[in-house]
Amino acid sequence: MTARKKVLVFRELPDDQLARLEAAHDVKVANPKLPTQRDAFHAALAEVQGMIGSSYPVDAALLVAAPKLEVISSVSVGVDNYALDALQARGIMLCHTPGVLDETVADTVFALLMATSRRVVELANLVREGRWDKNIGEDLFGFDVHGKTLGLLGFGRIGQAIARRAALGFGMPVRYHARRPVDLATQAPELQGKALHTALDAMLAESDFVVAMLPLSASTRGMIDADLFAQMKPGAIFINGGRGATVNEDDLLAALDSGQLLAAGLDVFAKEPLPMASALRTHPRVTPLPHIGSATHETRHAMAELATTNLLRALAGERPAAVYDTAAV
């Protein structure tokens, strides 16, 4: 039996997963985002060997305050909140939750594709506000999704789940740009002949919808800028389901205002929650969502369960299923 260790949980965890942790270890729950719990969080850092978190940034200074830390288990697949080089230098293991959220995030991205192209929010508001007083005319028509070309920036686990919906369900030709081509024969045979690795400029020029599904890293920060928007097909729709800071938001607004982009569907923003002053909040051709890509009951539970299992395994000296390779940055 593993010796009991000290664990700090600094995000919400379902009761059944908290119970699994408490059965094996001494657990402190403290949310550093709540002023009433911030002191408890900082006090606990000095003692903990394991942590479960997600959206609170774990930077190098915070790690200095946690000298006994062996493992962090994140309830997320994205790891941009963690100081990866400091974790690597200290030999602290980082676990995350790849795979269990792919289909749910792909559903959210498709909701944004449908909402932007068919003007769902705008037209629902027209009905709600009692402005549906005649047959809808051309000025309120949308554009088809089926049969249109989809360009994917990022073609990993989630990008491929989006491509399956597009190619197999909506008859959409798919082009993708990623760090390297994917061997579809072994990884996604159902997409063979349907999703093509394409040079970035050609992909942008050919796509009716450009969907970004990129992690945030030094190479992707600010990558989607005026230069990329200018290369997109005039009247394209842009969707971001990855991370907000991969986009230059001023350039995005300029592309919307010039008419280069027809619309944007955004689940993620450079600063979250989206500041009241952001023009993206109220822009008539932006559909903004509050970072809900994976936010279903089923998937958030599956993520919490995987994160708990990862932490329990790591603290028991076993290899967890989903260790992030911090050396790969």
Residues that bind ligand 3PY (CB under 6 A): 76-78, 101, 293-294
How big is the chain by its Cα radius of gyration, in Å? 22
State how beta strands 50-53 and 209-212 pair: unpaired
Q: Which of 11, 157, 243, 300 is catalytic?
A: 243
Of the candidate residues 115, 267, 303, 322, the single one contacting ligand NAI (CB under 6 A): 267
| Cβ(144)–Cβ(92) below 8 Å | no
Q: Which residues does residue 6 pair with via DSSP β-bridges, in sequence order?
A: 26
Instruction: For the CB of residue 118, give the shortest distance to ligand NAI in the complex, in Å.
Output: 21
> Does residue 291 carry a catalytic annotation?
yes
Question: Of 25-33, 133-141, 278-286, 289-297, which part binds ligand NAI (CB under 6 A)?
Answer: 289-297
Residue 1: both structure tokens together: 């039996």
Q: Which of 119, 291, 300, 313 is catalytic?
A: 291
> Does residue 272 carry a catalytic annotation?
yes
Which residue has the closest beta carbon to ligand 3PY?
78
CB under 8 Å, gap of 24 or more: what pairs does 310-313 form? 310/73, 310/95, 310/96, 310/97, 311/7, 311/21, 311/50, 311/52, 311/71, 311/73, 311/95, 312/20, 312/21, 312/24
CB burial of residue 138 (10 Å; 0-12, 13-18, 19+)? exposed
Of the candidate residues 53, 151, 159, 320, the single one contacting ligand NAI (CB under 6 A): 159
Looking at the Cβ atoms of 17 and 294, the one nearer to ligand NAI is: 294
Rule CB under 6 A: say whether 178 interacts with ligand NAI: yes
Active-site positions?
243, 272, 291
Query: Under the rule (CB under 6 A), what is the footprint of ligand NAI?
Result: 77-78, 98, 101, 105, 154-159, 177-179, 213-217, 219-220, 241-243, 267-268, 291, 293-294
